[in-house]
Amino acid sequence: MKKNYDIVCIGMAIMDSIIRGFEPEPVLSGYRAESGTLMAGGDAVNEAVAAAKLGLGTGILCSLGTDAAGDMIEAVLAAAGVGTDLIQRPDDHPTPVTTIFVKEDGNRRSITNQAHSYNFHPEQYMDLFDARAVVLGSLFRAPFNDPDVIREVLTVAKLQGMLVFADTKLPNFRRLSLDDIEGMLPMIDFITPNLDEAEHYTDKSRVQDMADVFLEKGVKNVIIKMGADGCYFKGRGNGSGTLEFRVPAFTVDTVDATGAGDNFIAGFASEILRGSDIKKALQFASACGAICTTAVGAGTALTGRSQVEEFLAERNV
């Protein structure tokens, strides 16, 4: 029997080792840091946890190893109210682990290993659920760095009438270009690259030109995240005409930017599914992303929809 969800997040599930205040000079036989935190992470995990906290019936389609890291991640998801029945747990592959070095300004750099490039095929499990929408955790990263996987997942999603939200990442183990997946881009309703990603994939320097490249290749709506400069939207919205505008960022005391983009897309999708207009949905999404950065870890600071509404009300939005 198929499981019914508002939204299903598809992508990576990872155990994050978050290091703050790393001191590059060795001390005797080792190194020191201000703190080290172990947290469930990965694009699909972060998005699913945020979406569930925001009140959506949320599922996750990902792969975990039959190891302690996998057990911990599944427990975190269940505790957040995410449906875990779609999780695949093969016994021949470990749960991926990422080490993230967080700087004082909240920006970060990460170290990944080959476990991140395992051969997970979410297209094989699309018949296990019905949903109003799906989120592709990270287009251009595993499992969505394989054109055949992308095509099959998107085709099934659109045949079933689902909205498709796609976040992006810069490539790591396998490199794809927009040209490699050009025929699939018209099946994406909303794509949300950050500024660096949009520049990389379009080879443009102006956000308007970046958005135009995605739109010309068939994506219906483009949201470019610009950090402290907010976000830029261009697309059809809910109608046939073209909309174009910017939404400013919110100023907060940033501790850790890990997962801000994942919280952003979860917040945006939650409001679109509630029938909000694009601009209000982006304001809500920006608030979710800002709140995320105020604590260490992608799933720590955001607690629920009322928290975001209070955040916006305090800023007269």
pLDDT of residue 108: 73
Q: How many CB atoms lie within 10 A of CB 203?
A: 11
Distance CA 149, CA 293 (A): 32
Query: Which residues are registered as beta bridge partners of 223?
Result: 233
Cis peptide before 94 (omega within 30 of 0): no
* From 44-53, 101-110, 124-133, the region with the lowest mean pLDDT: 101-110
Residue 71 has pLDDT above 70, yes or no: yes
Residue 153 has pLDDT above 70, yes or no: yes
% of the chain surpassing 70 pLDDT: 97
Q: How do residues 204-225 score in pLDDT, each as one tens digit?
A: 999 999 999 999 999 999 999 9
Report helix, strand or coil for 42.
Answer: coil
Q: CA 189, 200, 120, 13 torsion: positive or negative?
A: negative
Residue 276 has pLDDT above 80, yes or no: yes
Distance CA 142, CA 98 (A): 14
pLDDT of residue 63: 94
Query: Which residues are registered as beta bridge partners of 38?
Result: 17
* From 48-52, 110-114, 291-295, the region with the lowest mean pLDDT: 110-114
Q: What is the pTM of this model?
A: 0.92
Write the DSSP symbol of residue 64.
-
pLDDT of residue 220: 96
Distance CA 92, CA 174 (A): 21
Residue 240 has pLDDT above 80, yes or no: no
pLDDT of residue 116: 64
Distance CA 208, CA 204 (A): 9
Asked if 203 and 188 touch (Cβ cutoff 8 Å), the reply is no
pLDDT of residue 239: 64
* From 98-102, 136-140, 223-227, the region with the lowest mean pLDDT: 98-102
Q: Residue 66: phi, psi to the nearest 5?
A: -90, 60
Q: Residue 178: phi, psi to the nearest 5?
A: -60, -35
Taking residues 167-187, what's their average pLDDT? 93
Residue 186 has pLDDT above 70, yes or no: yes
Confidence of residue 92 (pLDDT cuts 50, 70, 90): confident
Q: What is the mean pLDDT of the chain?
A: 93
Q: Using alpha carbons, select from 226, 293, 211, 217 the residue that is nearest to residue 258.
A: 293
pLDDT of residue 98: 87
Which residue would you say has higher pLDDT here, 156 or 297?
Answer: 156
Pairing of strands 23-27, 30-32: antiparallel
- Which helix (H) or strand (E) segment holds residue 136: the answer is strand 129-139
Q: Residue 299: phi, psi to the nearest 5?
A: -110, 20
pLDDT of residue 33: 87
Domains and CATH numbers, the chain: 3-13+44-95+113-314 (3.40.1190.20)
Which residue would you say has higher pLDDT here, 2 or 299?
Answer: 299
% of the chain surpassing 90 pLDDT: 74
Taking residues 283-306, what's their average pLDDT? 95
Longest dimension (CA), the chain: 65
Helix-helix angle 43-53:68-79, to 10 degrees: 20
Residue 106 has pLDDT above 90, yes or no: no
pLDDT of residue 238: 65
Distance CA 80, CA 161 (A): 27
Residue 38 has pLDDT above 70, yes or no: yes
